Amino acid sequence: MQRGQEVSSSVLTVPNLISLLRLALVPVFAVLIVSGHDVWALVVLAVSGFTDWLDGVLARRLHQVSKLGEMLDPAADRLFIFVTLAGLAWRGVVPLWVLVVIVARDAVLAVVVVLLGRRGYGPLPVSFVGKAGTFALLYAFPLLLLAEVPGGVGAVAHVVGWAFTWWGVGLYWLAGWQYLGQARRLLGPGTSDGATSGRWETR
């Protein structure tokens, strides 16, 4: 969201409908990846990535930035990351530890959000590191899926996909550490209760 952009409480907006479409694609993608239909799974991921870009652009240009949209967008990102990882781990494409470290980070931050809410604070605002980590992971997993294709294309996708994975995991946890530091300062002694202006985009 651009600085100074007004956030509304509207529900039925064009960007929100697009975000809901992305969420609806999650179970479709899950079935495709588990059943081994990799080409169609990649198509769904491509559509999801396009709609992720499109809903943000339309929200700003149509002045339809909403609180619901700020929740739906990162929720769809997390779901696609989790479903992709779970499917790839189930098929043995990626080791289980990759799934564990990413889910563990989100579980820790979910507890932090609850603690902040009890003190009257909103979710922490998104950081550049958090966005970079999320985008790296969203690029990594389609490449790891493409790496299953035999030949040169698969070999290149394997190397690039794992590079994105390592960077994504590192940035994902670095952002989590930053969020924990912000939460500790807010929840520390002498901090008065009160709602913050943070947006629901912590990634």
Nearest-angstrom CA–CA distance, 170 and 178: 12
Predicted local distance difference test score (pLDDT) of residue 173: 92
What CATH number is given to the structural domain containing 70? 1.20.120.1760
Classify burial at 167, counting beta carbons within 10 Å of its beta carbon; exposed 0-12, middle 13-18, buried 19 or more. Answer: middle
Residue 88 has a pLDDT of 84
* CA–CA gap between residue 198 and residue 109 (Å, rounded): 14
Our count of domains for the chain comes to 1
Q: Judge whether 20 lies within some domain.
A: yes
**What Cα–Cα distance (Å) separates residue 89 from each residue in 60, 81, 85, 92, 94?**
37, 12, 6, 5, 5
| Strand partners for 66 | 8
Q: Splitting the chain (203 residues) into consecutive groups of 10 residues, what average pLDDT does each group show?
A: 56 81 87 84 84 79 74 79 86 88 89 85 77 86 84 91 94 91 80 45 49
pTM over 0.85: no
Kindly state whether residue 157 falls inside one of the protein's structural domains: yes
